[in-house]
Every structure is written in structure tokens, then in C-alpha cells.
């Protein structure tokens, strides 16, 4: 059997490294019976919804869905909410992959309703702000023309901070930052490096407001058609990969941050706990925006996630 | 007896005639709808994008969802335009060899092309219809305005279907009428004098 | 199997099927013969996503702006201005045509829009002065393609997105090569006028020139607003297309009152139809290219050549130029860039080529390819717009293709030509 695995990122990315490990483990544990074929960005098309379509339709059996998944699974926007994840990235990874959250009825149903099934969560590191001015307090972000994806929840979030969120296509972003059409930007560290956004920005601000999280999704019919043994195998492998995934993203983002530091004199700001609290307060009401937008399943998913983080923090 | 037969034939012909009249009325109505949609897409796109830009530049506040709406408009424009361009035989083709032919052979080639293209268009109308159904069932919405995407994607089966019908009509026209027809309403000609400006005539082929 | 695929597509093309048919049939052929694991459902997805793109919005907007300006005064006033300064030169009118196409292209960013906007008023003027129609058409088609090299350019935007390189630098890099091509065309026009014995006109008086300049003041605000707005950080290149429409409306509807509000519906319809005719090819072309990609065909065809080249920069650039030239002969340049750039990306990195320089060469090939018989998309635009027979439209093109190939050689051998301006700017 061949399992096709679609990635939102190109070769040599966090998702690709994770998928390579997944492939190795599946092929080893199934003793060569299953062959995993990796399809990086571009191999299945160039627009994310083409990948989600292919997984929903079953042409591709499994793959990653992250920021753009909101149109396909509205509840998945939960992972875009700010200040719901613990500061500790390892605790976050554990909470996201705990049965309390991942196997919760609400989260599973959200995907099942769209012919998908969530298999694992891969945090890919903090979403980091960049700007041409130092941002330490909500006053500093006031009216900052920060670029967000064309997504109502993200817009609401940055409006709540007092910024003026603006939408710019990814391909136009570099020149928009360079010409000053956008004054700030939000990306995981590796993306800031890959697209060289740091060249045209003066400050990088680590506010720990959220991580960039990709959900490993499978086609529901495909998953249900697997033998109990195979399902158990996948479950085992994804559990093993929680730690490895965390290590992969930490290593990638550290390396990329070093590259940024060595190639530019960008100023790096780490917000203190007190500074973060100011933003955290402003972000809280946005949870209600999320619930209003996606409904009861979203509210239950949020509840499951918060209690999963509680448990993970206590080391349960 | 003969007289009765003659009357029946005339009656039958008149029935077909009024049927054809109704068809051509329907066809023209669809043409008008297509024109309104196509021109509307362009005008709304221009208005929305410029207001968004001006708002963004002057007041730091664009129109939320502009990107999304523009992308949707392009999809609608493309596929409704597919049908409309078939109506006016404006689809781009490599006609070098076709132009070397004359008379009967040219006409038969034109009919083969129409038939083949129509078949392909109907196939895609069916396939994209299924896609619309799937997307409706999966509940895909746009990320910013939560517009159900199947509404936008309806333009695919509509456009492919209309294009298929237009190619079928062109085939039928060539089969029954003398001369070579590039579309249901347009006989083949090339402009002998330069147009003042390279504009597409917008009179639904009734020049 | 690949040969059967190529033969089917070629036969359908030669028979005169609409261009979308060979592309769609090729796609379905690969799907039904199992060359790819994707089925026709995915083809529909790819079509929708192929055109559901923000960047593409610039095409209908610039065409619409061009349609408004052509219907109104602006196009003619800009032409009068150039004419006042060049009519006494030998070959002045065709050189004016070439320069106008380049200038208009600089604003419109779209070759097809330029063919429509500049070809309309210029072709009758050329015919009146005794130039042949095939020369006039070839000149308009090829000079319009300079538009791809002068910012803002859709070709550069799409390349920048796919290659993940700075679109701003690409814009700067295209300017000098664009001017080089314009210079070559001008020399050809000059020689052509001499050979045909077409005498120059009387030099325009400074009074006439001043008048032409006065008439062109507001139209000149057009390039200044659009280009200045992009570089001033007011709006992006795509958004500039909508601003172009807004300014065109301000000039022609409010100030000159040459275009009535009633005309706008008809203009929007014609812009929309030209856009749709091209975009349906972008849509089906996207399905075709992704199918080709998942079937691994470009790698199979190009892999051996790419491997044998290794680190040789000139050979790598030559291969890239040839591949894009051939690709653009068959398919819309935007689609070609989407298919081929990812395939060449490893070669560009391993041969240590500057992606900006490659981008200029690729875009130049897109320009050449879209004007090259038998399948150039600008040839089709000219056929669509002027309604002239195919053979007449292509008869005059060979000398232009030859000059463009020379320009490619120069560009491959002298990367500074493209890299100098971005280095200054950055
Ligand atoms: Na241009
Ligand atoms: Na060509």
C-alpha cells in the first residue's frame, strides 16, 4: 500500500523533517508493507485548498493543515487564538497532543464533519512580530499597520491590541514591508528567514502570544478503512513524534534565528511576563469572537484545550 | 386530404418555429445575464480595490475581505466568461491550417471542432457540478467573510454548461444553414478595415 | 506514452481546436492512463485555484484601464507627445510606436493590454504612412512584449512569488534589458524605413511640441501616480492596477468627458471578455501543469540536461532560456513560470546563479515566446483584437524574434545589465 503525505511546506522544512521521520517509522513498523510517499508544496499544486481538497477527496491520504485550514475546518482557527498556549513550548506540544484535547469529541467531530480526522498537532515555533519600531506595550502597537492573513479572527485579535491590521498577499509582502505599505509582520522565525523579511524590518519581538501549529490530518474514510492494528501503529508513531517534532522545530528555529542575527543587525526584544500580561488581557475577549464565529463545537474544543494545557503543566 | 396534410406540415413547422423563437429568446436572455455578470465583476472589482487602497492609504483602514472577494470575482468572471466567449467564438485557437481550407472541408472541420469541444465542455460541467456538490457538503467557507464557497464555484458548471450549449448550437447552425458559422449568430468574416480601437463588439453578435 | 500525449495535443492544436481543448485533453489523458494518481476531480480543484489568485487581479484591471484610456483622449495625447519629438526622424513613426508600447507597457504591466491599447490608435497611423500591415502588427506585438520587462510586470510578480525572491529587485532589474530591446527595435525601424524609402516628416516646431506637452500633462500623471504610488509605499503593484482604473476614470469621465458613464458597461464587458479568454487558459493550464508535475514529466525531460550541466553558469542560463522559450511558445507565460521555475530551482541554486538575473532572462523568454509563431498568446490577442488572419499576423515577426534572441545572448553574457540597477537600489 502507498500512503501519500502532502506537505504545506517545501523540502527541508519543519513539516518535511517531521514527515520524513513519520515515513521512516511507518515503513519500519509495517515491515515494508506500507510505503509513504512525501509530496512537498508544489507537488500537489500551489494553493493550500488544493491540498485540503485532495485529502478530503482521498487522492492524498494524509497531510498537514495550518493557518489556511480555517475555511475548510472553521474550528481549527482555535490554534490562531492568542495567549491560550503556555509559554513553555514543550508543555504546549504535550497539551496539544494529549488525548484530553486531540481525542476530545469536539475536536474530532470538527474534522470528521469535513471528511477528515486529526491525527496529531505539530507546533512549529512562536509566531514572532517584526516591526520598524520597538513594541513592548499595547501603546507601542497602537495603529501599527501590521500585516495579517486575510482572516477575520486574526484581524479581530490585532484590532483588540489596538493595531491596524492590513491584508497583503504573501508574494507581495516583502516589497510591501520594504516600501512601507505594511509596518509590521507576523511569522514563525523560519519564515522570517526564508522570505528574508528581516532585511526590511528593524525589530523582532517575541511576545509568546501563540505558536504556529500544523495539524496532521487524514482522510476519514481512509483512516476508518485501516485495520485496528494500523490505527494503533499510527497512534504510537505520532506519540513518539511529539518529542521529536518539538526537537525538530526548536533546532530549526534556533538555526534560522542565528542566520538572521548573523546577516542583519535586527534588534531582538523578548517581552517580560508583565509586558506579556498587558497583551494577554487585551487578547482575552477575542476568545468570544472565535466562539461566536464557529459555535458550540469551537467552545468545547477551546475548553478541552485549556484543560489539556492545565494537565500538561502539572505534568499529568 | 392533401390540403389537410399541407396544413399539418405548416402547423408543425410553425410549432418548430415558435419553439426556435422561444429558444433564441432564452438564449438571448442568458446572453444578457452573462454580460451583466461579466461587466459587473470588472466594475465591482475596480470599485472595491480602489476604495480599499484609498481607505488603507488615507485612513489606515481598508475593506476587510477585499482579497477574498476579488479572488471570487475572478473565478466567476473566468467561468461565466468562458460561456460568453464561446457565444462569440472568441476562444483563442491556432487557425493556420484551418485557414488554408475552403468550402466543404472547412465547414466539416468546423463542425468536428464544435462537436468535440462541446463534449469536453459538458464533461467538465458534470465534473465541476460534482465538485460544487462536494464543497457544499463539506461546508467550505471563505476565511474572512465566511462566504460558502460552493456559491462561487457554481459558476463552473454554469460556464462549462453554457459553453457546451454554445458549441452545440454552432454545430447545429453549420449543419442546417449554408455558409460557415463561427458561432450560432456569427458568420465567418475578418475585419477588412482596421478597427478604430481594438474593442470587442458588445452587441451579442448582431452586428 | 509521452509521445502519444504530445501527438494528441499537437493534432488537436493544429486542427484548430480552441487552445483550452488540447490542454484539457492532455490533462485527462495523463489522468486516465495512470501517469498521475490524481483524477479529474483534482483537475477541477486546480482550475478553481489556478485563477482564484489575488495577483491575477492586475490583468483585468490594467486591461480595463487601457480600454478606458483608448476610448478617451489619454492614449492619443501620449502618442501625440512622442510624435511631436520624433516625427522628423527616419522611421520616426514606428519608433514612436515601439516607444509608446514600452511606455504604456510600463504602466499597464500586461502585454495583451498594451496590444489592445496602443495597437488600436497606432496601426491606422502606420498603415497611412505606407508601412505594411504585417510589419505594423509584428511591431505592435513585439514592442508590447517589452511591457513584460518594464515594471510593473505580471511576469516578474509571478516569478518572484514562485522563486521567493524580491519583486522590487526584479522590477529594477528589468529596466535596462527592456531599454536595450527597445533600442534594437528602433534601429530596425530606422533601417526598415530607409530600405522602404519612407521619408521622415517635417520637424515639429517648439510651439507644437509645447502644445503636445500641455495636452499630455494630465495623462502623464498616470505613469507618475502608478509607479510613484508603488515605490512610495502607498499601494502594491496589484493594487496599483485598480488605482490605474480610478485615475483613468477621473481623466476620461470627469475631466475630459470623452467617456460617458454609459460607455463604462460596454468597456467593462469587453475587458472582462478578453480577461476570461486568457484566464480560462490560465485555469486549464494550471490543471495541465500540475498534472504534468505530479506525473514527473518535466523532470524526466529536463533531468538529464540539468544533471549534465552541473555548475556551468552559461550553459545553465542557456538551458533555462531554451526551456522557457519553448514553453512560452505553447502556453501562457504565467503558467510556464509556475511549472518550470520549481524544476529549475535546484539548478539555479547549484550553479550559484543570481535568481534576479534568471528572473530577467525568464521574463525575456516569456516576452519572446508570447510573440513567437506558431503558438504565441500575443499573436492570438492580436488576432482576437484586430480580427486579421493568422498568417498575416505572423508574417512580419521573424526579424523581431531574431533581435530578441540576440538580446538574450547579450543578457546571458553580461549579467550586470540586469543586476546593476538592483545593486544601486538595494
Ligand atoms: Na510593465
Ligand atoms: Na509563442
Q: Which ligand is nearest to the CA of C363?
A: 1
> Mean pLDDT for chain A?
93
Q: What is the mean pLDDT of residues A45-57?
A: 91
The C-side interface with A (CB below 8 A) comprises: 37-39, 41-42, 45-46, 49-50, 52-55, 157, 160-162, 164, 166-168, 230-238, 286, 290, 293-294, 338, 342
Q: What is the pLDDT of residue B197?
A: 34
Q: How many Cβ pairs within 8 Å bridge chains B and C?
A: 225
Is residue C383 over pLDDT 90? no
Q: Report the percent of chain A where pLDDT is more than 90.
A: 79
Contacts of A70 in chain B (CB under 8 A): 143
Say yes or no: B38 contacts chain C, CB-CB below 8 A: yes
For CA atoms B149, B150, B153, B158, give the dihedral sign: negative
Q: Maximum distance among all alpha carbons in chain C?
A: 71
Q: CB-based contacts of C418: which residues, under 8 Å, 6+ apart?
A: C173, C174, C176, C177, C356, C357, C360, C361, C411
Long-range contacts of C10-14 (CB under 8 A, 24+ apart): C13/B94, C13/C375, C14/B94, C14/B96, C14/B97
Give the containing element (helix H, strand E) for B27.
Answer: helix B2-59
Do C342 and A172 lie within an 8 Å CB cutoff?
no
Q: Which pLDDT tens digit goes with each residue over B96-150?
A: 788 788 888 999 999 999 999 999 999 999 999 999 999 999 999 998 889 999 9
Q: What is the pLDDT of residue A120?
A: 97
Q: How confident is the model at residue C107 (pLDDT cuts 50, 70, 90)?
A: low
Q: Which pLDDT tens digit goes with each residue over A152-183?
A: 899 999 999 999 998 887 767 877 888 788 89
> Mean pLDDT for chain C?
83
For chain C, the structural domain boundaries read 37-425
Query: Using CA atoms, how far apart are residues C251 and C218, in angstroms rounded to an integer?
Result: 7
If one counts every other C-beta atom within 10 angstroms of the C-beta of residue C380, the result is 25
Is residue C193 over pLDDT 80? yes
Q: Return the SS3 of A311.
A: helix
Residues C394 and C372 sit within 8 Å (Cβ to Cβ)? no
At what angle are helices C40-51 and A48-57 packed, to 10 degrees? 160
Residues B79 and B155 sit within 8 Å (Cβ to Cβ)? yes
Query: Using CA atoms, how far apart are residues B70 and C422, in angstroms rounded to an integer?
Result: 31
Q: Which of C30, C38, C171 to mutate to test the interface with A (most CBs of A within 10 A)?
A: C38
Chain A residue whose CA is closest to C230? A179
Pick the more confident residue, C90 or A201: A201
C325 Cα: distance to centroid of ligand 2 (angstroms):
8
Q: What is the CA radius of gyration of chain A?
A: 19
B47-69 burial string, b = 16+ CB within 10 Å, else e? ebbbebbbebbeeeebebbbbbb
Q: Which class for C102: exposed (0-12), middle (13-18), buried (19 or more C-beta within 10 A)? A: buried
Q: Report the percent of chain C where pLDDT is more than 70.
A: 92
Q: Which of C57, C228, C388, C392 to mutate to test the interface with B (most CBs of B within 10 A)?
A: C57
Q: Which ligand is nearest to the CA of C366?
A: 2
The answer as to whether B67 is a domain residue is: yes
Q: How confident is the model at residue C110 (pLDDT cuts 50, 70, 90)?
A: low
A126 Cα: distance to centroid of ligand 2 (angstroms):
47
The answer as to whether B199 is a domain residue is: no
Contacts of A54 in chain C (CB under 8 A): 38, 42, 45
Q: What is the pLDDT of residue C66?
A: 77
The phi, psi pair for C38, rounded to 5°, reads -80, 145
Q: What is the pLDDT of residue C217?
A: 83
Q: What is the mean pLDDT of residues C342-360?
A: 85
**CA A113 to each of CA A40, A105, A121, A309, C287: distance values in angstroms, whole numbers, following the listed order:** 26, 12, 18, 25, 28
Is residue C387 over pLDDT 60? yes
Q: Which residues on adjacent β-strands are paired with residue A2?
A: A35
Whole-model pTM?
Answer: 0.85
The answer as to whether B170 is a domain residue is: yes
Cross-chain CB nearest to B117 (options C17, C115, C265): C17
Q: How far away is chain C from the Cα of A10, in angstroms, using its nearest Cα?
A: 10
Within chain B, which residues score under 50 in pLDDT? 191-207
**CA A135 to each of CA A15, A142, A271, A279, C30: distance values in angstroms, whole numbers, following the listed order:** 30, 9, 9, 11, 53
Is residue C386 over pLDDT 80? no
Query: Using CA atoms, how far apart are residues C272 and C282, in angstroms rounded to an integer?
Result: 15
Is residue A249 over pLDDT 50? yes
C377 Cα: distance to centroid of ligand 2 (angstroms):
6
Expressed as residue numbers, the domain containing B111 is 1-183
Query: Using CA atoms, how far apart are residues C383 and C209, in angstroms rounded to an integer?
Result: 35
The answer as to whether B64 is a domain residue is: yes
Q: What is the mean pLDDT of residues A6-18?
A: 90
Do C64 and B200 lie within an 8 Å CB cutoff?
no
Half-sphere exposure of A256 (CA within 13 A, CB side): 25
Q: What is the mean pLDDT of residues C357-383?
A: 79
Q: Which of B75, B138, B149 to mutate to test the interface with A (most CBs of A within 10 A)?
A: B138
Question: Which chains touch A (3+ CB pairs under 8 A)?
Answer: B, C
C19 Cα: distance to centroid of ligand 2 (angstroms):
13
Contacts of C70 in chain B (CB under 8 A): 197-199
Do A164 and B60 lie within an 8 Å CB cutoff?
yes
Q: How far away is chain A from the Cα of C236, in angstroms, using its nearest Cα?
A: 6
Give the containing element (helix H, strand E) for A56.
Answer: helix A48-57
Chain B residue whose CA is closest to C45? B131
Q: What is the pLDDT of residue C195?
A: 83
Q: Which class for B43: exposed (0-12), middle (13-18), buried (19 or more C-beta within 10 A)? A: buried
Do C57 and B52 lie within an 8 Å CB cutoff?
no
Quote the cell numbers at residue C406: 540576440
Residues 79-138 of B with CB under 8 A from C: 79-82, 84-85, 88, 90-99, 109, 112-113, 116-117, 120, 124, 127-128, 130-131, 134
Cross-chain CB nearest to B74 (options C24, C64, C279): C279
Q: Say how many domains are in chain B.
A: 1
The answer as to whether B206 is a domain residue is: no
Q: How confident is the model at residue C350 (pLDDT cuts 50, 70, 90)?
A: confident
A9 Cα: distance to centroid of ligand 2 (angstroms):
33
Is residue C153 over pLDDT 90? no
Which of C76-80, C393-397, C406-410 has the weakest average pLDDT? C76-80
The answer as to whether B130 is a domain residue is: yes
Q: What is the pLDDT of residue B49?
A: 94
Q: Return the SS3 of C18.
A: strand
Which of A34-38, A167-171, C356-360 has the weakest average pLDDT? A167-171
Q: Which pLDDT tens digit goes with each residue over C287-310?
A: 988 888 788 887 787 777 777 777
Q: What is the mean pLDDT of residues C94-108?
A: 76
Q: Which of C226, C229, C276, C388 to mutate to test the interface with B (most CBs of B within 10 A)?
A: C276
Half-sphere exposure of B137 (CA within 13 A, CB side): 12
Amino acid at each position: 500500500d502507498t500512503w501519500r503525505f502532502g506537505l504545506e511546506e517545501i523540502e527541508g522544512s519543519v513539516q518535511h523533517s517531521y514527515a520524513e521521520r513519520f515515513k521512516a517509522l511507518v515503513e519500519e513498523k509495517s515491515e515494508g508493507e506500507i510505503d509513504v510517499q512525501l509530496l512537498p508544496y508544489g507537488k500537489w499544486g500551489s494553493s493550500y485548498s488544493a491540498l485540503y481538497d485532495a485529502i478530503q477527496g482521498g487522492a492524498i491520504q494524509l497531510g498537514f493543515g495550518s493557518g489556511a485550514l480555517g475555511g475548510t475546518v472553521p474550528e481549527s482557527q482555535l490554534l490562531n487564538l492568542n495567549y491560550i498556549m503556555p509559554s513553555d513550548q514543550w508543555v504546549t506540544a504535550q497539551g496539544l497532543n494529549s488525548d484530553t484535547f486531540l481525542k476530545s469529541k469536539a475536536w474530532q467531530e470538527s474534522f470528521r464533519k469535513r471528511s477528515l480526522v486529526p491525527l496529531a498537532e505539530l507546533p512549529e515555533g512562536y509566531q514572532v512580530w517584526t516591526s520598524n519600531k520597538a513594541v513592548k506595550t499595547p501603546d507601542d502597537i497602537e495603529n501599527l499597520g501590521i500585516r495579517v492573513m486575510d482572516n477575520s479572527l486574526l484581524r479581530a485579535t490585532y484590532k483588540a491590541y489596538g493595531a491596524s491590521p492590513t491584508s497583503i498577499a504573501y508574494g507581495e509582502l516583502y516589497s510591501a514591508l520594504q516600501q512601507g505599505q505594511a509596518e509590521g509582520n507576523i511569522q514563525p522565525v523560519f519564515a522570517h528567514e526564508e522570505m528574508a523579511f528581516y532585511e526590511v524590518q528593524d525589530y523582532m519581538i517575541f511576545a509568546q502570544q501563540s505558536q504556529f501549529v500544523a495539524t496532521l490530518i487524514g482522510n476519514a474514510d481512509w483512516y476508518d478503512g485501516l485495520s485496528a492494528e494500523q490505527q494503533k501503529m499510527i497512534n504510537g508513531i505520532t506519540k513518539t513524534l511529539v518529542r521529536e517534532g518539538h526537537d525538530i522545530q526548536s533546532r530549526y528555529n534556533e538555526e534560522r534565528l542565528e542566520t538572521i542575527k548573523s546577516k542583519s543587525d535586527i534588534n531582538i526584544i523578548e517581552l517580560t511576563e508583565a509586558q506579556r500580561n498587558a497583551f494577554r488581557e487585551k487578547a482575552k475577549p477575542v476568545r468570544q469572537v472565535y466562539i461566536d464565529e464557529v459555535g458550540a463545537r469551537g467552545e468545547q474544543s477551546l475548553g478541552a484545550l485549556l484543560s489539556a494545557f492545565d494537565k500538561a503543566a502539572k505534568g499529568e | 386530404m392533401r390540403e389537410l396534410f399541407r396544413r399539418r406540415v405548416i402547423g408543425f413547422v410553425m410549432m418548430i418555429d415558435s419553439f426556435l423563437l422561444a429558444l433564441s429568446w432564452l438564449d438571448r436572455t442568458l446572453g444578457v445575464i452573462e454580460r451583466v455578470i461579466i461587466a459587473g465583476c470588472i466594475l465591482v472589482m475596480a470599485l472595491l480595490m480602489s476604495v480599499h487602497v484609498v481607505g488603507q492609504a488615507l485612513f489606515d483602514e481598508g475593506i476587510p475581505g477585499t482579497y477574498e472577494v476579488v479572488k471570487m470575482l475572478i473565478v466567476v468572471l473566468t467561468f461565466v466568461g468562458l460561456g460568453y466567449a464561446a457565444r462569440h467564438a472568441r476562444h483563442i485557437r491556432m487557425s493556420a491550417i484551418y485557414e488554408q481550407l475552403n468550402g466543404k472541408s472547412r465547414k466539416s472541420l468546423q463542425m468536428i471542432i464544435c462537436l468535440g469541444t462541446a463534449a469536453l465542455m459538458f464533461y467538465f460541467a458534470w465534473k465541476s457540478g460534482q465538485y460544487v456538490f462536494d464543497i457544499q457538503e463539506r461546508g467550505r467557507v471563505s476565511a474572512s467573510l465566511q462566504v460558502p464557497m460552493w456559491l462561487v464555484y457554481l459558476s463552473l458548471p454554469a460556464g462549462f454548461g453554457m459553453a457546451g450549449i454554445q458549441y452545440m448550437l454552432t454545430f447545429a447552425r453549420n449543419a442546417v444553414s449554408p455558409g460557415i458559422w463561427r458561432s450560432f449568430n456569427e458568420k465567418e468574416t475578418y475585419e477588412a478595415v482596421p478597427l478604430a480601437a481594438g474593442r470587442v463588439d458588445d452587441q451579442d453578435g448582431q452586428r | 506514452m509521452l509521445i502519444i500525449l504530445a501527438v494528441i495535443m499537437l493534432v488537436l492544436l493544429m486542427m484548430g481546436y480552441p487552445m483550452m481543448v488540447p490542454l484539457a485533453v492532455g490533462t485527462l489523458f495523463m489522468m486516465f492512463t495512470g501517469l498521475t494518481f490524481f483524477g479529474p476531480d483534482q483537475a477541477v480543484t486546480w482550475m478553481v485555484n489556478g485563477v482564484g489568485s489575488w495577483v491575477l487581479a492586475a490583468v483585468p484591471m490594467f486591461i480595463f484601464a487601457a480600454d478606458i484610456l483608448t476610448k478617451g483622449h489619454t492614449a492619443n495625447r501620449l502618442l501625440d507627445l512622442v510624435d511631436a519629438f520624433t516625427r522628423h526622424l527616419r522611421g520616426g513613426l514606428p519608433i514612436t510606436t515601439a516607444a509608446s508600447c514600452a511606455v504604456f507597457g510600463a504602466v499597464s504591466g500586461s502585454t495583451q493590454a498594451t496590444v489592445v491599447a496602443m495597437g488600436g490608435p497606432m496601426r491606422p497611423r502606420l498603415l497611412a504612412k505606407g508601412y505594411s500591415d504585417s510589419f505594423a502588427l509584428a511591431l505592435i506585438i513585439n514592442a508590447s512584449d517589452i511591457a513584460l520587462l518594464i515594471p510593473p510586470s505580471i511576469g516578474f510578480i509571478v516569478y518572484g512569488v514562485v522563486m521567493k525572491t524580491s519583486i522590487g529587485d526584479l522590477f529594477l532589474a528589468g529596466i535596462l534589458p527592456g531599454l536595450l530591446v527597445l533600442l534594437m527595435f528602433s534601429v530596425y525601424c530606422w533601417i526598415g524605413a530607409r530600405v522602404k524609402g519612407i521619408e521622415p516628416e517635417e520637424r515639429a516646431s517648439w510651439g507644437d511640441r509645447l502644445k503636445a506637452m500641455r495636452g499630455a500633462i494630465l495623462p502623464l500623471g498616470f505613469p507618475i501616480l502608478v509607479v510613484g504610488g508603488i515605490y512610495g509605499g502607498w499601494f502594491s503593484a496589484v493594487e496599483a492596477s485598480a488605482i490605474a482604473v480610478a485615475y483613468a476614470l477621473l481623466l476620461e469621465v470627469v475631466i475630459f468627458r470623452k467617456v460617458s458613464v454609459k460607455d463604462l458597461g460596454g468597456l467593462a464587458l469587453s475587458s472582462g471578455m478578453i480577461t476570461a479568454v486568457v484566464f480560462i487558459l490560465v485555469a486549464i493550464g494550471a490543471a495541465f501543469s500540475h498534472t504534468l508535475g505530479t506525473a514527473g514529466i518535466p523532470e524526466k525531460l529536463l533531468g538529464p540536461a540539468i544533471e549534465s550541466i552541473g555548475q556551468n553558469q552559461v550553459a545553465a542560463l542557456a538551458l533555462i532560456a531554451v526551456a522557457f522559450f519553448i514553453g512560452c511558445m505553447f502556453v501562457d507565460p504565467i503558467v510556464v513560470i509556475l511549472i518550470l521555475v520549481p524544476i529549475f530551482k535546484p539548478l539555479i541554486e547549484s550553479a550559484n546563479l543570481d535568481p534576479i538575473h534568471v528572473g530577467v532572462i525568464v521574463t525575456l523568454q516569456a516576452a519572446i515566446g508570447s510573440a513567437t509563431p506558431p503558438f504565441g498568446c500575443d499573436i492570438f490577442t492580436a488576432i482576437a483584437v484586430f480580427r486579421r488572419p493568422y498568417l498575416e499576423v505572423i508574417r512580419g515577426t521573424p526579424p523581431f524574434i531574431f533581435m530578441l534572441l540576440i538580446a538574450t545572448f547579450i543578457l546571458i553574457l553580461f549579467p550586470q545589465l540586469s543586476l546593476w540597477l538592483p545593486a544601486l537600489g538595494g
